Amino acid sequence: MSTEKQPPRALPPFSRMLRLTQPNRADGIAFVILAALALLVFRGAEGAVEPLAKLHLEPVTLDPAYLPYYALRTVIRMFAALAASTVFTLVVATLAARSRRAGQIIVPALDILQSVPILGFLTFTVTFFMGLFPGNILGVEFAAVFAIFTSQAWNMAFSFYQSLRSIPTDLEEVSQGFGLSPIRRFLRLDLPFATPPLVWNAMMSMSGGWFFVVASEAITVGNTTVTLPGIGSWLALAIERQDFRAIGEAVAMMAVVILLYDQLFFRPIVAWADRFRFEQTAGNERPRSWAYDLLRRTRLLPLLFAPITWIGGLLLALDPGRTAMRPARQAQPNPLVERLWQSLVLLAVGAAFWWSAHYVLATLGLADIGEAFGLACLTMVRVIILIALASVVWVPIGVWIGLNPKWAERLQPVAQFLAAFPANVLFPFAVIVIVRWNLSPDIWLSPLMILGTQWYILFNVIAGASAIPNDLREAAGMFGVRGWQWWRQVALPGIFPFYVTGALTASGGSWNASIVAEAVSWGNQRLEAHGLGTYIAKATTAGDYPRVALGIAVMSLFVLGFNRLVWRPMYAFAERRLRLS
Amino acid sequence: MATILAPRPLVEVDALRHYYGAAPGGHLVLDDVNLTLVENEIVGLLGRSGSGKSTLLRSIAGLLHPREGEVRFKADEAGRAPTVSMVFQTFALFPWLTVLQNVELGLEAQKVPAEERRTRALAAIDLIGLDGFENAYPKELSGGMRQRVGLARALVVNPSLLLMDEPFSALDVLTAETLRTDLLDLWSEGRMPIKSILIVTHNIEEAVLMCDRILVFSSNPGRVVAEIKVDLPQPRDRLDPPFRALVDDIYARMTARPTATQPARDGLFPGMGIAMVLPRVSTNSLAGLMEEVDGTPFDGRASMAELADSLQLEVDELLPMAETLQLLRFAELQGADLLLTSGARHYAQADVDARKALFAQALLAHVPIVQHIRRILDERTSHTAPARRFRDELEDHMSPDYADETLRTVTQWGRYGEIFAYDEGSDQFSLEDPE
């Protein structure tokens, strides 16, 4: 190395420092936006810590002037839940990946929680959180945030865990070889590697969260009815009063809100996270975001991120430094301790099972269990038929879109919006139609279950179709493969692995949605279809905890069984036979 | 003069033995390996895949702990224990860090102050010829440049021993040659802080070109079968007759039949029954190899080194092919020469159907597992048998991975020879042709 060479990033002279930190125009714009956001958050959060009585003094009204404020409250709840889910993910998933014993419990638990009907839990959580903060709105706020959290956390944690498990061995060996401490390793390797899938998952979770916002802001548990100021309560009230205009306004407001946080929050993050994509070759189109570009042009940006950098710095300062170059010989797990641990886990599981069974059976008999199973079968038939119908509709459309890149580009945001849109908003219309034509609710309420989840099928089919290699399509074209043969031998095998992913998500979501979709009301008109969803919904309204517990347990059992017996084998088949590459 | 002093040992590897798999038992990958590394030498570990040479390297790097045996680091006169650092075949760069940040990684872990870190990283980058790329991300670099980053990252922490795991095998021939030469230049000029280099390779010429000492490994399990001192002066010339002679000699050692005292699972030689591990060698490659040796200029006899050159094959690829030919009695290995039998020369000239017939004959005569499958299929009235059954039988003699690989190979050979059919969906062998 030549000695006269200056290190490129030596401390700049003071005058340059001044110039560097002098705000520019981008700073101005960014500052205005950020200040406005901060003010909004503050204004919204104020309302969350007032005494509970205030809810009765200032009930939700359908005055459009209040709508933006309600939207603000709802969005803050959603971001609070997202933040909680992220923290949960970072802690729990990392623990599961790093500690074998923790993993033995956490991984199956996450797997089950992913497929449990979250809406059914509202009953328990609302009572719990209201007890934590008696007489304060904060308790109910926590309950609502928790409901949203439960819809986001599990799959985020699971995806993060899977990312951590798929870190390339050579990078692990480098970290180990250089003796990176656990904290440094987490910041340098684990977190960056798992960030892109986590961001993607967070986006999907946020979309799913809307569904639960609408269901969780206005809840009736037994004889307690709570309505938090928010879009969800607005909608509930509009439905009760049969006010079409108010519903239309809420839908428009949601569209605006979704657009705003997509542009101001998720796009910039996706653009930023692109640098962590694990690829060794340049190329591909990079995601773009005007907001991110704006932020990057600001000079005060480092100040904004100072707190995050500070936390990172603090963590690294705590870091004990280089761990021993040659870690101690890994102790063989002591078989006695191992067996003790396993029996402890088994004991805990057994106790939990006995306790819940005892709780349910104390008031309910075998006949009740039989009834729940019968209703679950009805709901299952609905789910199967609906998935089949949705597939028949969306697979051809998705394939067509996927094979036309121009349309795919144009329709992707539309489809994303539709997926984010809470389908329960549209339920009243179904009620009107059914009442008007005197249709059977058992049949005609069913489509509502898949209204919100069918988009997963469409998404995935589009992705699968655009991933069909061009040479395969050209070969098919050259040999004149068309019609049914084309579908059978080119398109369907090409999209199958993607389709299975989509259908799995859609079917899980439909089970969950059945709790709100099988029993729907519009003003004083109430329609019910026979099914497990209605069973749980009715038990919730009546405050009948044993039945709620039984309903949730049976539904979880069905969803898990469905996943294990139908989707997993299909997935394995797709992996084995149809994976292109 | 330094040469008068006895060379100081850096690392001693003592009776290393390692298994893969569950604690009692498991698959033996390294068997009783002893090795002493001294200062000022480049030592090569040469062997095929599965010979445990990477396992040995990782044991020295502290990345894994061998089940038995010991790795001892000898402190120098100041009482400092030697340190190691590793260069990876796949480069192992963090794609989200720049070249500079990647190089600084190890220093950062040692909590070296930022300023010193930067100075040392820049010096290493400069040394390795990466100036101007400090702020590039790995994905913007070519393979050769990436491996330079890997090298700079390994050198910047001042290791006494540099471990290299097939560092050039993911690069194209020209790039690999340039990098090798640069590394040798830095080594001979003493511009690197390291005292010794241990390099894993399966390229015989690379080993002879670079190393002062070569340890040849056998596979399944890995054992040191030969230790060869290379006294040729640097820089070495591939066309130099002593160089060629040494390469031929190593080929011969690597293809030598094991002595009768070795246990039966050792590899791939006739007369060992069902317990043979068969490598994945395609019938097309076998046909190609026979045609090559049958044609001009070899005319039925070729030296392995020349064959590897003319076919652009690594020894790792060529040896299994040659040994399979030997197993099927299509060839004889004499020293470092491959000699086609009359059957093979016949094969090379035959048309497709005659070739298949010859191949089927050889399979049924010399590969016990093929005979076994065929006999079962003939005996059963349904003429079908689940593949699972044979896999289980193989697993009695070898690890599940090897059993699976062996059965895949057998399936491919059997299909080509039209000895039996196999249906992947039902995982069954049968005598029937597809309808």
Each residue of A394-408: pLDDT tens digit?
999 989 888 887 787
Question: Which residues are CB-contacts of B203 (< 8 A; sequence separation ≥ 6)?
Answer: B168, B169, B314, B315
Q: Say if the Cβ atoms of B92 and A168 lie within 8 Å.
A: yes
CB contact under 8 A, A192 and B110: no
Cβ–Cβ < 8 Å for B137, B95: yes
Distance of CA B280 to the CA centre of its chain: 15
Partners of residue B111 in chain A, C-beta under 8 Å: 319, 321-322
The answer to whether the beta carbons of residues B208 and B246 sit under 8 Å apart is yes
Low-confidence ranges of chain A (pLDDT < 50): 1-17, 323-329
Chain B partners within 8 Å of A173 (Cβ): 58, 61, 63, 86, 88, 92
Which residue in the set A173, A277, A332 is minimally distant from B63, CB to CB?
A: A173
- Neighboring chain B residues of A321 at a CB cutoff of 8 Å: 109-111
The mean pLDDT values, 10 residues at a time, for chain B of 435 residues are: 65 85 68 88 86 86 84 81 87 88 86 88 90 88 90 90 90 89 90 90 89 86 85 85 88 67 41 71 90 85 84 82 88 84 88 90 88 88 88 81 87 90 86 63
Give the pLDDT score at B263.
40
pLDDT value at residue B90: 86
Determine the distance in angstroms separating the CA of B146 from the nearest CA of chain A, rounded to an integer. Answer: 10
CB-CB under 8 Å, B122 with A5: yes
pLDDT tens digits along B240-294: 888 988 988 888 888 765 543 334 343 444 445 677 778 888 999 999 999 888 8
What pLDDT sits at residue B203?
A: 86
Name the residue among B172, B145, B162, B161 with its Cα closest to residue B91: B145
Rounded Cα gap, residues B364 and B343, in angstroms: 15
- Give CA–CA dist B36/B58, Å, rounded: 16
Question: What is the pTM for the complete model shown?
Answer: 0.77
CB atoms closer than 10 angstroms to residue A196? 17
**Nearest C-alpha neighbor of A360 from the set A370, A351, A369, A348:** A369
In whole angstroms, give the CA distance from residue B421 to residue B411. Answer: 8
Residue A322: list chain B partners with CB under 8 A.
Answer: 109-111
List, for residues A405-455, the tens digit of each pLDDT value: 778 777 767 776 777 677 777 777 788 888 888 888 888 888 888 887 788
Q: What is the largest CA-CA distance in chain A?
A: 90
* Alpha-carbon span A138 to A148, nearest angstrom: 15
Chain B environment of A279 (Cβ under 8 Å): 95, 139
Contact A1 B127 (CB under 8 A): yes
User: For testing the chain B interface, which of A174, A181, A191, A573 should be mutated: the one with the most B CBs within 10 Å?
Assistant: A174
Answer for the pair A117, A536: CB distance below 8 angstroms, yes or no: yes
Mutate to test the interface with B, among A11, A325, A576 (most CBs of B within 10 A): A325
Residues of B with a Cβ under 8 Å from any A Cβ are 23, 58, 61-63, 65, 83-86, 88-92, 94-97, 105-106, 108-111, 115, 118-119, 122-123, 126-127, 134, 137-140, 146, 157
DSSP B310-338: HHT--HHHHHHHHHHHHHTTSEEEETTEE
Decide if A272 contacts A296 (C-beta within 8 A): no
Calculate ∠ Cα A508-A509-A514, nearest 5°: 105
Contact predicate B168/B179, CB 8 Å: yes
pLDDT at A55: 65
* Chain A contact set for B134 (CB, 8 A): 8
pLDDT, tens digit, 9 for 90 and up, residues B20-78: 766 556 677 888 888 889 888 999 998 877 778 888 898 888 888 888 888 888 887 77
CB within 8 Å: A176 and B110: no
Mind spelling out the 3-state secondary structure of A222-276? CCEEEECCCHHHHHHHHHHHCCHHHHHHHHHHHHHHHHHHHHHHHHHHHHHHHHH
